[in-house]
Structure 1
């Protein structure tokens, strides 16, 4: 009795061919859990999601010591970290891969934040919207009121927390061998 052999890699229909099967040739790759069609893994630490599909931050607000360099820069030059975070997140959204230079330290976002901080002490107001954009990108629970209180009360911690969240997505895109 001859054994039937199974081909582990069956021949797939080519696009544009009619194979009398509904949807033949129209298959598209779907992202896996945590992966997004444009960018990297937006939940690299697999933080559990709530019923609304939202989660907590990957690193706590007081976890800024996990990235002392960013925390120190954000204490003395918050405009620099704000500019980097904003350009890194926007680049991920628009291009689907990390910013080649790690974000713009001295771009227009940094300049505007720095001027408003120097003249009026209100640069943190820009960060409310940016923190909200970061939360939306990574499906992190919270709202505008919480964002406002966080950036006003602990600006360096908030900037570092956002930077670390973006960094997790960027690192998920680096091939591992």
Structure 2
């Protein structure tokens, strides 16, 4: 790594307007609560379930407040990987283009070795946990 590379700002690995994986794109357009739940579970590193986040997101969709919830997780994802707030702030992106934002976040996690559709299984290349019978 040269000196210039070490000072580069982190960038999103997926574009906001690229759909990426067709399956994720279709699920996100039809049932965004599923994609959001998967993203939230991975961002929280398994501290909360996909189902819980998906249900909260779905309930908030009824009163049109789901963008507030999902933009919070975009902020957590950006903070975790030091990603820029572009092309505008998290709320505007989720308010104006929710499906694109969710697809971008899903693709970002997948490109970093964490497949949200598989749930939280630990960091990439982590050794598997020891069975309880082996722990003394």
What TM-score, normalized by structure 1, do the two folds share? 0.56
* Secondary structure of 1:59 counterpart: coil
Root mean square deviation of aligned Cα: 2.7
Distance 1:55 1:142 in 2: 11
- The answer (yes or no) to whether the contact 2:67–2:98 under 8 Å persists in 1 is yes
In structure 2, the residue matched to 1:59 is 14
In structure 2, the residue matched to 1:173 is 124
Distance 2:28 2:58 in 1: 12
The count of aligned residue pairs is 114
CA drift at 1:91:
1.6
Higher relative contact order (Cα pairs below 8 Å, separated by 6+ residues)? 2
- The 3 A distance-change label for structure 1 pair 104 and 76 is farther
CA drift at 1:55:
2.3
In structure 1, the residue matched to 2:120 is none
List 4+ stretches of structure 1 deviating above 4 A: none
Higher share in helix: 2
CA drift at 1:132:
0.5
What TM-score, normalized by structure 2, do the two folds share? 0.71
Q: Unaligned 5+ residue runs, structure 1?
A: 1-32, 34-47, 95-102
In structure 1, the residue matched to 2:53 is 109
- The answer (yes or no) to whether the contact 2:43–2:73 under 8 Å persists in 1 is no
